[in-house]
Copies of this chain bind each other. A is one copy, B any other.
């Protein structure tokens, strides 16, 4: 506070013109021509006085906040920071800022946050939290908010979204494992209420069949969240069923990390006895023990794409949803190895 700054009025008085003239010059109204002399005077006065347009007044007047709400399920998941960086950078170029919020995978919190963001009059919402059948998303759309989904999609069509090709990615992982001689492959699946969890699960089944491998439901376990803890639980559950298996494809990297834990706790070794693949290629995936074989998706670029999609929505009165699907790529590291003989 206290930090009172120069207003249009101040500049106007200094130069000796009407305040509306100052406004017009500073905003470079198209088709408006002042004597270049006056314009220059105004600009220098503004600079000298350190004039900055008051965002509250401006927003009140034009009824736009130039603020985009970004809702993330779990900021501590390293996949998100690069995405966020991409979003921020891109938004900043057009004078928008991102308000970041982290729901910690809690739907109730998610709803509260959404309320807060709406109360703040964000011009748009970038959501990385969407569920497959997400009422919250539907509500936002209905209320006229611009929304773009990132990494996830909802079943209802007509929403902008930036995703990756889960089927392609999982197929790569399964093919890789198959080529290494694995036949009993488990799947630690993500939450089925979330598009990525669901799609990757479907993709797993398809890919197995495509490779001519049987899918054994005893080798599949579902997680309630994309969190390490859940991955450990699910993998332990599979292991407890005592079916032969030599590999597991986890629905994301955090889950894969949980698999590492469970495998170790069971006294088995990765990759010698059990190969593991993840998904996302999150930062540090190459630093784990062992370095994780995973499906790389272009995180930073997804952020950029999301922001651009949002900007596009903001630009037009009747926005066309834009759906971008990026192609992932398997990166082979140390967590996968040839299937042990005799299994």
Question: What is A's interface to B at a CB cutoff of 8 Å?
Answer: 1-4, 52, 54-57, 59-60, 63-65, 75-76, 78, 80-82, 84-85, 88, 92, 97-102, 104, 116, 118-121, 123, 143-145, 257, 260, 283-284, 287-291
Contact = CB atoms under 8 A, between A and B. Distances in A.
A97 to B, nearest CB: 6
Contacts of A2: 144
Contact of A288 (B76, B92, B289): B289
A84 B70 CA distance: 14
10 contacts: A1-B64, A2-B144, A3-B143, A56-B63, A75-B85, A78-B283, A97-B99, A257-B287, A284-B287, A289-B289
Contact of A82 (B76, B99, B283): B76
A144 B3 contact: yes
A319 to B, nearest CB: 12
Contacts of A59: 56
Given A1-B63, A75-B85, 4 more contacts: A3-B121, A56-B121, A60-B60, A288-B289
A291 B287 CA distance: 10
B64 A60 contact: no
B85 A81 contact: no
A116 B97 contact: yes
Contacts of A260: 287
Contact of A60 (B1, B54, B78): B54
A342 B2 CA distance: 67
Contacts of A60: 54, 56-57, 60
A76 B81 contact: yes
A118 to B, nearest CB: 8
A104 B85 contact: yes
A328 to B, nearest CB: 19
Nearest to A143: B3
B88 A81 contact: no
A325 to B, nearest CB: 24
